[in-house]
Amino acid sequence: MDRMRIVLTGDRPTGPLHIGHYAGSLANRLLLQDRYKQYVMIADVQALTDNYENPQKVRENVVEVALDYLAVGIDPAKTTIFIQSLIPEIAELTIFYLNLVTVNRLRRNPTVKTEINQKGYGENVTAGFLMYPVSQAADITVVRADCVPVGEDQLPMIEQTNEIVRTFNRIYRTDALVEAEALIPKVARLPGTDGKAKMSKSLGNAIYLSDSAEVVKQKIMNMYTDPNHLRVTDPGKVEGNPVFDYLDAFDADVKTVQEMKDHYQQGGLGDMVVKKRLLEIMQAFLEPIRSRRALLSQDKKAVMDVLKKGTLQTREVAQQTMSRVKNAMHLDYGF
Ligand code: TRP
């Protein structure tokens, strides 16, 4: 029997989830829910840090993300799913942690740095956006999670969380907070259908778990491949070719994939043949998710009930953590 671990992850509800989310972290969560105490958080507060002018979008996507979770098989009997904004202890912890982090350290967080550049915030970055890693440290520590299954872009967040945990425990002479370990998937991050490094809504290069069969077909048939692979007989490149990256992530028949790669590199294997195989694999993977999702979306009240129950459970744990934290900080007034 494994040591009892506590797992927490989350997603920003800014759109439906795509196959990159699946490969990056949903697949690991499906494995972890059978073995450990798992929490999955819908990060509406974090979503607002770059969508504060669009609260309606965040609100709508809370339900979409919850539907994606349930459709892929995150089981509310095993996993506690909750909404971030309904756990006020996370906001409280964030305020305490902010004293333990310098603004310079936040500016150097590689993920935040990249996002500030991508979004063009420059010097006008809001305090809320700059400090969201601190809020993320509160997400993780509020349930005392020691395992965080995420994509590799989240590694700097876990590192920063652990710095805060160590500083807190040292300064307040306590063991109230627990360090966490990231669990990174074996497959590298999935590129977009256009071959760009990241699958994202804004780039329009994502395949969503909720896409119809027709849309999936269109997206796969139009995928970027090796641009120099002009004739079937030409040797083709497998590196930087997203069709093969997706096969690596979703085709369980590793041997056949390897044979196709060899054949493609030698020349004589056409893009269409590879894409057709990928299409079959993806449809077989997505079809059951799609139909479960359609069924679940007919009863939004049941979905909200799952979130309510999970949120109430999480609050109990959060209150326990909060009382330990306040005790260590001499903020226990007894009334
Ligand atoms: N930052 C994560 C993302 O963009 C979402 C997230 C918020 C998260 N809080 C978390 C992930 C806590 C893991 C643990 O995908």
Asked if 25 and 169 sit in the same domain, the reply is yes
For residue 263, tell me if it sits in a domain. yes
Residues of the chain with pLDDT under 70: 1-3
Residue in 18, 46, 68 to alter for ligand 1 test, most ligand atoms within 8 A of Cβ: 46
For residue 334, tell me if it sits in a domain. no
User: Is ligand 1 within 6 A of the CB of residue 289?
Assistant: no
Asked if 136 and 249 sit in the same domain, the reply is no
Give phi and psi for 11, each to the nearest 5. -140, 145
Three-class secondary structure assignment of 203-270:
CCCCCECCCCHHHHHHHHHCCCCCCCCCCCCCCCCCCCCHHHHHHHHHCCCHHHHHHHHHHHHHCCCC
Based on DSSP, count helices (H) and strands (E) in the chain, helices before strands. Answer: 15, 5
DSSP state for residue 14 in the 8-state scheme: S
Residue in 9, 29, 140 to alter for ligand 1 test, most ligand atoms within 8 A of Cβ: 9
Asked if 129 and 271 sit in the same domain, the reply is no
Q: Look up the domain containing 183 and give its range.
A: 6-190+300-328
Asked if 278 and 240 sit in the same domain, the reply is yes
Cβ atoms of 251 and 257 closer than 8 Å: yes
Asked if 149 and 287 sit in the same domain, the reply is no
For residue 199, tell me if it sits in a domain. no
What CA–CA distance (Å, rounded) separates 286 from 9? 22
What CA–CA distance (Å, rounded) separates 253 from 80? 33
Q: What pLDDT sits at residue 3? A: 65
Asked if 259 and 313 sit in the same domain, the reply is no
For residue 196, tell me if it sits in a domain. no
User: For 165-206, what is each residue's pLDDT tens digit?
Assistant: 999 999 999 999 999 999 998 877 899 999 998 898 888 999
* Residue minimizing CA distance to atom 15 of ligand 1: 11
Please give the number of the atom of ligand 1 that sits closest to the Cα of 43. Answer: 7
Asked if 144 and 226 sit in the same domain, the reply is no
In 3-state terms the chain splits into helix, strand, coil percentages (rounded to 5) of 55, 5, 35
Q: What pLDDT sits at residue 4? A: 85
Asked if 277 and 318 sit in the same domain, the reply is no
User: Is ligand 1 within 6 A of the CB of residue 141?
Assistant: no
Whole-number Cα distances in Å, 111 to 45, 152, 204, 274: 18, 10, 21, 34
For residue 270, tell me if it sits in a domain. yes
For residue 269, tell me if it sits in a domain. yes
Asked if 288 and 159 sit in the same domain, the reply is no
Distance 25 CA to ligand 1 centre (A): 11
82, β-bridge pairs: 41
Handedness of CA 82, 84, 86, 91 (dihedral sign): positive
Distance 39 CA to ligand 1 centre (A): 12
- Is pTM beyond 0.85 here? yes
Cβ atoms of 41 and 82 closer than 8 Å: yes
* CATH number for the domain harbouring residue 49: 3.40.50.620
* Residue minimizing CA distance to atom 6 of ligand 1: 10
User: Is ligand 1 within 6 A of the CB of residue 247?
Assistant: no
Please give the number of the atom of ligand 1 that sits closest to the Cα of 136. Answer: 9
Token pair 């059951």 is at which residue? Answer: 288
* CATH number for the domain harbouring residue 269: 1.10.240.10
What CA–CA distance (Å, rounded) separates 118 from 197? 13
Q: What is the number of structural domains in the chain?
A: 2
Distance 150 CA to ligand 1 centre (A): 8
What CA–CA distance (Å, rounded) separates 322 from 317? 9
Distance 158 CA to ligand 1 centre (A): 10
83, β-bridge pairs: 42
Calculate the CA 167 to chain-centre distance. Answer: 26
* Residue minimizing CA distance to atom 8 of ligand 1: 10
Q: What pLDDT sits at residue 1? A: 45
Asked if 143 and 253 sit in the same domain, the reply is no
DSSP state for residue 18 in the 8-state scheme: B
Asked if 232 and 109 sit in the same domain, the reply is no
Residue 156 CB partners (closer than 8 Å, separation 6+): 109, 110, 111, 112, 133
For residue 34, tell me if it sits in a domain. yes
For residue 208, tell me if it sits in a domain. no
User: Is ligand 1 within 6 A of the CB of residue 46?
Assistant: yes
* Residue minimizing CA distance to atom 3 of ligand 1: 11
Token pair 């909750």 is at which residue? Answer: 82
User: Is ligand 1 within 6 A of the CB of residue 8?
Assistant: yes
DSSP state for residue 51 in the 8-state scheme: T
User: Is ligand 1 within 6 A of the CB of residue 19?
Assistant: no
Distance 46 CA to ligand 1 centre (A): 8
User: Is ligand 1 within 6 A of the CB of residue 15?
Assistant: no
Asked if 141 and 266 sit in the same domain, the reply is no
The overall average pLDDT reported for the chain is 96
